[in-house]
Amino acid sequence: MPRAGLDTQTVLTAAAEIADTKGVEELTLATLAQKLGVRSPSLYNHVHGLPGLRNKLVIYGMNQMREAMARAAIGKSKDEAVRAIAEAYLEFVRRHPGVYEATNRYPDMNDPAVQKAAGEVVEVVIQVLQAYGLKDDTAIHIVRGFRSMLHGFASIEQQGGFGIPLDLNESFRMLVDTLLAGIHALHEVK
């Protein structure tokens, strides 16, 4: 019996694929082991059980997200950068629904590694907002609002919560425009 030659990275990408294709509920040690051609206890050599797997997937997802957003914002500033980040966010969720859901469902906010990964995502947005010269507290409120919009829209869309057949991209664009208008208004008052 040859050795499977598993790697934490291999395990993780297999887990991500299961989550994205079959749904996050289907991501179990049993299905993962089967996909990797191994018995489930063997996974404990690479991951601290199911909670450990989920934790790694959360961090993996946050990093992927940060990368996608940062890439989209390269060479852009202000409104253009905000729109680019928003689009990148939504596109990521559409392409990786399972990973995104895991990110929202299983994060252990007491884990410093999770805090770090989450902070780095927020950092990308903060950097983009700096161009507007907002007061510190104001910037934080805006970041919170931006995140709320993005997460809210993406997750409602993801679970089919928008019933009516009216263009979703248009709704999303209007929502981002609303945020931008709000930023502009604040900026003028200083």
Partner DNA sequence: CTCTTTAAACTAATATCGTTAGTTTTATAT
Partner DNA sequence: ATATAAAACTAACGATATTAGTTTAAAGAG
Interface region with DNA, contact rule CB under 7 A, candidates 34-42, 74-82, 163-171, 174-182: 34-42
Alpha carbon distances (Å) from 129 to 41, 75, 83, 111, 157: 47, 14, 12, 27, 26
Q: How many alpha carbons lie under 13 Å from residue 5 in its C-beta half-sphere?
A: 1
Binding-site member from 41, 185, 189, 190 for a second copy (CB under 8 A): 185
Binding-site member from 15, 19, 20, 46 for DNA (CB under 7 A): 46
Whole-angstrom distance, CA of residue 26 vs CA of residue 5: 24
Does 155 engage in binding with DNA (CB under 7 A)?
A: no
The listed partner (DNA, a second copy, none) that binds 50, CB under 5 to 8 Å by sort, is DNA
Does 51 engage in binding with DNA (CB under 7 A)?
A: yes
Does 120 engage in binding with a second copy (CB under 8 A)?
A: no
Q: What is the DSSP string of 37-92?
A: TS-GGGGGGTSSHHHHHHHHHHHHHHHHHHHHHHHHHTT--HHHHHHHHHHHHHHH
Eight-state DSSP code of residue 130: G
Nearer to a second copy, 38 or 175 (CB): 175
The listed partner (a second copy, DNA, none) that binds 174, CB under 5 to 8 Å by sort, is a second copy
Structure token digits, residue 145: 């609002």
Binding-site member from 17, 42, 63, 143 for DNA (CB under 7 A): 42
**Opening angle at CA 116, ends 111 and 121, nearest 5:** 130
Interface region with DNA, contact rule CB under 7 A, candidates 29-37, 72-80, 87-95, 167-175: 29-37
Does 50 engage in binding with a second copy (CB under 8 A)?
A: no
Structure token digits, residue 65: 């997200």
Does 1 engage in binding with a second copy (CB under 8 A)?
A: no
Alpha carbon distances (Å) from 79 to 33, 65, 171, 179: 45, 20, 17, 10
**Opening angle at CA 36, ends 57 and 55, nearest 5:** 15
- Binding-residue total with DNA (CB under 7 A): 23
Q: Which chain residues interact with a second copy by CB under 8 A? A: 104-105, 107, 109, 115, 118-119, 122, 137, 140-142, 144-145, 147-153, 155-156, 159-164, 166, 168, 170-171, 174-175, 177-179, 181-182, 185
